Amino acid sequence: MKKTILLALSLLLGCTAISAPAEARTGFKRVAYFIQWGVYGRNYHVKDVDATGAAAKLTHLNYAFGFVNAGGACYSADPWADWQRPVPAEQSVDGVADARGQALNGNLNQLRKLKAKHPGLKVMISLGGWTGSKYFSDAVLTAESRAALARSCIDLWLRGNLPDLPAGAGAGVFDGIDLDWEWPGSSGAEGNVVRPEDRRNFTLFAEELRAQLTAFSSNAQLTAFLPAAAAKIDAGFEVRRVFRALDFATVQGYDLHGTWEAQTGHNGNLLTDRRDPNPVRYSVDQTVRDYLSRGAPGRKIVVGVPAYGQGWTGVTGGGDGLYKPAAGPAAGKWGPGTEDYKDLVTKPGKRYRDLRTGTLWLYDGNEFWSYDDPAVLLQKAAYIRLKGLGGSMMWSIDQDDTHASLTSALYSILH
């Protein structure tokens, strides 16, 4: 099966043969994000990463998110979820409830238990995200502030010196830091501080953080989440130099189109779609090419894949619904225009698949949903292997189903 998928994709890409280096690659990264707030409405816990079988198929779990404050220091956006919430036995990785008076509770203690059960799994603290990147620009403005921010993040998350707990109570949970500044040098969430100097300062901060992490532990890792759009790449990242400071980078392979647009489109198409009427045609392959052409080593490029879909309602124009006008975002369980894979897979409607672009979409005559299923992820994983890239990253693990179907599809090719 693996060779058949690789051969089929090589033909789609116009390759005459599967390259030996790509076929022989081992040690692919299989990364997934775990959302801090999932323990609330979503009722998704660290235990579920293990119970679904996903933990055994991952190399890295990125914990989202730690924030940076106006004073240029790392802090927890939700101490209750992170280390204060007593976890009952039924939500605990090892079936043992947090004891009254123990120092470390919450998600961090469960992550420590998860690592004990899966010793090969690395857990990273992800800094920033869409809602936590407001003050990055200020925090990395000078050499002194960059050094101070790096010390703060390492002290809090890796040394485990958590507020109001004994020194080092959180030590050993995290194996490194994942930078999720969205975005240096260009717009992100409303109100974010943005400067032209962000591009250089991101590089300098990554190098400072790399140096301090190495001084802390030779095994500490540093990664970053990087954007898909070429304009954002060039505005914010000195690609060749940044990649030298990183163990690897995860690149955005989703939200290529979404409900901020007035017509439907692909959430995360693997290959460029000739039907795409947009002036800029995005695809995972184009993003990978953009990073390679700017000096990123392929083995350090980890491709992001979505465990959710983008959806529109009031889609008119008939046909298969693709690139048709829409009235707005479709209703979603957790927000307008977005739905988890595990819920999309049971939605009624006709499904369309295009192997030439690596896409799947659902259209019922009114609602249009673009999302990835296991078959699409097999194709993307084959692409990663064929191109000799670093691996895959999923946003986010709670959106996969109870059988870890998406995670398993990636693992079947990238292990």
Distance, CA of 282 to CA of 355 (rounded, Å): 16
- Average the pLDDT over 129-134 and give the result: 97
Q: How confident is the model at residue 48 (pLDDT cuts 50, 70, 90)?
A: very high
Map out the domains of the chain as residue ranges: 2-307+374-413
Among residues of the chain, what percentage have pLDDT more than 90? 93
Residue 12: pLDDT over 70: no
Q: Is 207 among the residues known to form the active site? A: no
pLDDT tens digits along 259-283 = 999 999 999 999 999 999 999 999 9
- 130-150 burial, b at 16+ Cβ within 10 Å, e below that, comes to eebbbbbbbbbbeeebbebbb
> What whole-number distance in Å separates Cα of residue 357 and Cα of residue 96?
47
Provide mean pLDDT across the span 12-33: 63
Rounded mean pLDDT of the chain? Answer: 95
- pLDDT attached to residue 31: 99
The overall pTM is greater than 0.85: yes
Q: Euclidean distance between the first and final Cα of the chain, in Å?
A: 14
SS (H, E, C) the chain: CHHHHHHHHHHHCCCCCCCHHHHHCCCCEEEEEEEHHHHCCCCCCHHHHHHCCCHHHCCEEEEEEEEECCCCCEEECCHHHHHHCCCCHHHCCCCCCCCCCCCCCHHHHHHHHHHHHCCCCEEEEEEEECCCCCCHHHHCCCHHHHHHHHHHHHHHHHCCCCCCCCCCCCCCCCCEEEEEECCCCCCCCCCCCCCCCHHHHHHHHHHHHHHHHHHHCCCCEEEEEECCCHHHHHHHCCHHHHHHHCCEEEECCCCCCCCCCCECCCCCCCCCCCCCCCCCCCCHHHHHHHHHHCCCCHHHEEEEEECEEEEEECCCCCCCCCCCECCEECCCCCCCCEEEHHHHCCCCCEEEEECCCCEEEEECCCCEEECCCHHHHHHHHHHHHHHCCCEEEEECHHHCCCCCHHHHHHHHHCC
- 350-402 pLDDT, tens digit per residue, is 999 999 999 999 999 999 999 999 999 999 999 999 999 999 999 999 999 99
Q: Which residues of 326-346 are buried (b: 16+ CB within 10 A; e: fewer)?
A: beebbebeeeebbbbbbbbbe
Q: Which of 23, 144, 182, 207 is catalytic?
A: 182
CATH number, domain 2-307+374-413: 3.20.20.80
pLDDT at 24 over 90: no
pLDDT band for 4, please (50, 70, 90 cuts): low
Beta carbons of 108 and 159 less than 8 angstroms apart:
no
Taking alpha carbons only, the member of 406, 404, 396, 374 closest to residue 32 is: 396
- Give me the pLDDT at residue 142, please: 98
